[in-house]
Amino acid sequence: MNASTKAKLAELQKSALAHAQKARTIAEKAEAEGRNFTAAEKAAYDEAMATGKSELDQINTIKADANIHDQAKALAEQLDGPGVRPMDGFGDGSPAAPAKRRGLPFTRKSGAAALAKSIAGTMATSGGGQKALAPSGTVVTGIPMGPEAPVVLADPGATLLDALGIVPGAPTYRYLRQITRTNNAAVVAVGETKPTSTMGLEEIEGKLRIVAHLSEGIHEYWLRDSASLNQFVEGELLQGLLRAIENEVVNGDGTGEHFTGLAHVSGAQVQAFAVDSLTTIRKAITKLEVAGHAAGLITVHPTDWEALELSRTTGDGQLELVDSPVDRAARRLWGVQVVPSVAVTTGTAIVLDTAAVAVRTDDQVETRWDTSGAQFEKNETRARVETRANLDVYQPMGVVLADLTA
């Protein structure tokens, strides 16, 4: 780690601790006086916590990048081959070479975790009964959803969650949904009554749903002997969490704690099969446009996307790739981005205006390792990864479910 990076880290750590102390002072004052925050105190507390969290995210990123660089450099020197990439696997304790980020960009526990827990530990409880102290053994990290971690949709590795908007929110919330739209705007003579247009709004009450899972018991000696095993386990659990959220976004039926997914949105448009899959999807795009929406995303099962890519001209059997509306390299169909997803039922395409829906989260992923109970007796530990999320549908008419089955 070079001098400028160390200086930057020291500056961020000092600032983060200062903001944590400011928030702690506000909380302790209110607690000592046996009252909730005033409006001014709440605003100051939220600002201090938000700034401290942002600085922690920067510390995480800087330390992770520096660690990868230092390990790669050290390994290259050992092998006497400058620029050699770190080996994959667990044997030598070095991490695999960094890959391009895929999927919803959840952050992982990094070298700054101790600082994160230290700052969290300075917090007691905030006004209004809001808990601000993370339990021991828990690492809570942010989810960078904005410019910090952009994913270009033309990247074939993009997932459905990358393509949808991400909105951080409270555990319970409300939003407005537009179920109809009637535009009666018209020319009006002087003195005449102006026509009324209707927005068709209704208030929706939503809440974040817990999505979580555990690893099987892992022997503690494995973790000691393989420095990167814990990262591997956490990565696998995070990937599984991502898949589960994506499945709920598509297929959640709204019962119990399930999301109400795209396949079950009340008021969504439906496009019946017409001629072939290409034609059917094109007609679905038209339905969106007629309803005043712009098609921004098509998602299908990977096998259906393969069939679309291999579409052939009637008669001579030549591939239509060159002259067809399929852009295989950019994964576009009729000029609209395509994101294949195994969550989508085969024989179905979902065509939507990406502004019509969003995935709401609590902006945190919790990773916890536990050795209590029977795990302690067996010298084993388990990891748990969880978050809270839900799907918001602002305009059901911006979603079209197309049947690709003849």
Amino acid 300: pLDDT: 96
Amino acid 90: pLDDT: 33
How far apart, in whole angstroms, are the C-alpha atoms of residue 319 and residue 336?
20
Kindly give, in sequence order, each residue whose CB lies less than 8 Å from that of residue 1, ignoring residues fewer than 6 positions away: 9, 66, 70
- The phi, psi pair for 284, rounded to 5°, reads -65, -40
Amino acid 7: pLDDT: 80
| H helix runs in 84-169, sequence order | 113-121, 160-163
* In contact, 390 and 207? CB cutoff 8 Å: yes
Q: Where are the domains of the chain?
A: 3-148, 151-406
Sheet holding 348-352, edge to edge: 269-271, 399-403, 348-352, 297-300
Amino acid 394: pLDDT: 95
Give pLDDT tens digits for 270-306: 999 999 999 999 999 999 999 999 999 999 999 999 9
Residue ranges, the chain, pLDDT below 70: 1, 66-157, 312-323, 373-374
- Tally of CB atoms within 10 A around 264: 16
Amino acid 258: pLDDT: 96
Locus of tokens 């942010």: 142
Amino acid 141: pLDDT: 53
Measured CA distances, 219 to 130, 139, 295, 353, 377 (Å): 36, 20, 50, 47, 11
What's the token pair of residue 138?
């828990």
- Tally of CB atoms within 10 A around 191: 5
Pairing of strands 357-361, 201-207: unpaired
Query: In one letter, which amino acid is 133?
Result: L
How far apart, in whole angstroms, are the C-alpha atoms of residue 103 and residue 243?
9
Give pLDDT tens digits for 202-259: 999 999 999 999 998 888 888 888 878 888 888 899 999 999 999 999 999 999 999 9
Amino acid 306: pLDDT: 92
Name the DSSP class of 138: E
Amino acid 28: pLDDT: 84
Pick the CATH number of 151-406 from 3.30.2400.10, 3.40.50.2300, 1.10.3720.10, 1.10.10.10: 3.30.2400.10
Amino acid 265: pLDDT: 94
Helices vs strands, H then E, count in the chain: 9, 16
Instruction: Find, among 144, 169, 128, 152, the residue nearest to 39 by Cα.
Output: 128
Model pTM? 0.61
The β-bridge partners of 360 are 167, 390
Pairing of strands 357-361, 165-168: parallel
Amino acid 246: pLDDT: 95
